[in-house]
Structure 1
Amino acid sequence: MHGEPVRPARHARPREVKQPERHSVRGQVLTALREALLSGELAPGVVYSAPALAERLGVSATPVREAMQRLVSEGAVETVPNRGFRVAECSDRDLAELAEIRLLLEVPSVLETARTMPPECWESLRPYADEALAVADHGDRAAYADADSAFHRALLELTGNRQLVAIATDIQRRTQRRPAPAVRSLRTEQLLRDAADHVALLDALRVRDLTTVERLMRAHVTA
């Protein structure tokens, strides 16, 4: 493994928790592995064994395997029989195809909802946008991925279509694997631009400026 050891999320310290519940450890491990994927610590094309990752995380191999299977379902890693898990590579074509699917699913759904939704209802999403801005300012890509997902999920939940929310959330999570700038200041700048799109989108939705809503969503999804 390259770089610093994989660590659980800052709020999660499995070794300090006395007899943690199984689902809690699994969640902590999943968060830690997602952070390692986003940071590049788990490198594309490299195969990692569950026991080796478990040793670094200070947990048993079982929750690591369970978390990795979840990441397999999200397309982040691939199972390599008798060896472990290979971090999947995300090509420009993959990202373009995912963006196309998001455009087909999210843009018309939000526009249709905006035509009938009372403008003040969009203000319920303001805390999500504010949180994304605050996290982006710290340049923490893994934390921003969670905040970004929360905003988009809350946005689509207003459509009332649960299946749309589930599918779009999965696709959006896959798009977060795009490469990030190596320089921290540039990475932070990129995250701040992305977070600012959320604020601008809510402003346009609040005044029911559908032309601007569509333009912002298309630019945001394909950025």
Structure 2
Amino acid sequence: MTPSRPAAAAARTPQLKSVSLREQAREALRTRIVLGEIEPGQVESVINVATDLGVSVTPVREAVMDLANLGIVEVIRNRGFRVPVLTDHDLDEIFRLRTMLEAPAMSEVTELLDGRAIPEFRQLAEQITDAAREGDLTSFLDLDRQFHMGLLELLGNRRLVTMVSQLRDQARMRGLQKLADQGELTRSGEEHIEIVDAIESGDTELAAELMRKHLAHSRGIWAGRTEGDS
């Protein structure tokens, strides 16, 4: 379906469809949280969020409970919900775990594909780079998620996919627009293309190493700084 307006604008004031409102509300909240659009530590009203999304309170309340069960938000009785404050140590833990899981997984993916082309992932990598270059943060995040989770899904390990998905949801982005303006996100997008190149070449060690370096780079990006910043 072709959107009627740019994705970045739609993300700011999304109007949800009448089908699967709970799931749509959950994804809208998830995106806002990861992008840092909902201030960590601040209590948010379910009523206000429902009004902003253009739906009733019930699907938003259900979505909040879903996210609370995943540890993404904390429910504040009779008040709403709160996004936990994330420290640098928390981000370190998240990306160390992701590296432990995703880097060796890329070796397995490369071995499994045995040099076969993966045009769908090359297209995703190019779209990620385009979104980064254009400063379209919502599309960047969505496409990046499709790329990483899609590669892991090739292994058929449901628990691996679930664990990495939850780790991604627990992270927050800070200062992303500034890094997009500096071109730092574009470099991150290009790293996805390099990973595809390594996988298609059948080089298991290179694929794992490129994913390791990409996640180390991403650790700084999600903290809102370049690799050279302290």
Q: Is TM > 0.5 for Structure 1 vs Structure 2?
A: yes
Match of 1:77 in 2: 73
Structure 1, gaps ≥5 residues long: 1-6
Match of 1:200?
Answer: 194
Question: Deviations for 1:46-80, whole angstroms, at most 9, x for unmatched residues?
Answer: 00121122223332111111222233234332111
- Residue of 47, 54, 72 corresponding to 1:51: 47
**Which has the higher mean CA deviation after the structures are superposed, 104-113 or 147-156?**
104-113
Secondary structure of 2:71's counterpart equals: coil
Supply the distance in 2 between the matched residues of 1:98 and 1:184 (Cα, whole angstroms). Answer: 21
AA in 2 matched with 1:95: L
Q: 2:38 aligns with which of 18, 42, 59?
A: 42
Q: In terms of mean alpha carbon deviation, does 43-52 or 189-198 score higher? A: 189-198
The counterpart of 1:215, out of the listed 203, 209, 215, is 209
Is 2:94 aligned against 1:98? Answer: yes
Once the two structures are overlaid, the 10-residue window that deviates more, 196-205 or 74-83, is 74-83
- Number of residues paired by the alignment? 209
Q: Which amino acid aligns with 1:111?
A: S
1:141 maps to 137
Question: Could you tell me the percent identity over the aligned residues?
Answer: 34
Deviation at 1:184, TM superposition (A): 6.7
SS in 1 for 2:134: coil
Matched, 1:186 2:181: yes
Residue 175 of structure 2 aligns to which amino acid in structure 1? A
- Show the counterpart of 2:57: 61
**Contact preservation (8 Å) 2:195, 2:207:** yes
Deviation larger for 122-131 or 26-35: 26-35
CA distance change for structure 1 residues 87 and 42 in 2, over 3 Å: closer, same or farther?
same
* Residue identity opposite 1:180 in structure 2: G
Opposite residue 63 of structure 2, the aligned amino acid is: A
Amino acid at match of 2:181: L
The DSSP-based 3-state class of the residue aligned with 2:156 is coil
Unaligned runs of at least 5 residues, structure 2:
1-8, 218-230
**Contact preservation (8 Å) 2:41, 2:84:** yes
Match of 1:4 in 2: none
1:151 aligns with 2:153: no
**Structure 2 residue aligned with 1:3:** none
Identify the range of structure 1 (138-147 vs 148-157) with the bigger mean alpha-carbon deviation.
Answer: 138-147
Cα drift, residue 183 of structure 1? 2.9
Q: Which has the higher contact order (CA 8 A, sep 6+)?
A: 2
Q: Provide closer, same or farther for how the CA distance between residues 145 and 74 of structure 1 changes in structure 2, counting only shifts above 3 A.
A: farther
Change (3 A) 1:211 1:128: same
Letter in 2 for 1:213: A
Is the Cα contact below 8 Å between 1:8 and 1:57 reproduced in 2? no
Cα distance in 1 for partners of 2:185, 2:39 equals: 21
CA 1:184–1:218: 2 relative to 1, 3 Å: closer
Q: What per-residue deviation string (whole Å, max 9, x for no partner) do you get for residues 178-204 of structure 1?
A: 3134537436x2322221111001111
Match of 2:106 in 1: 110
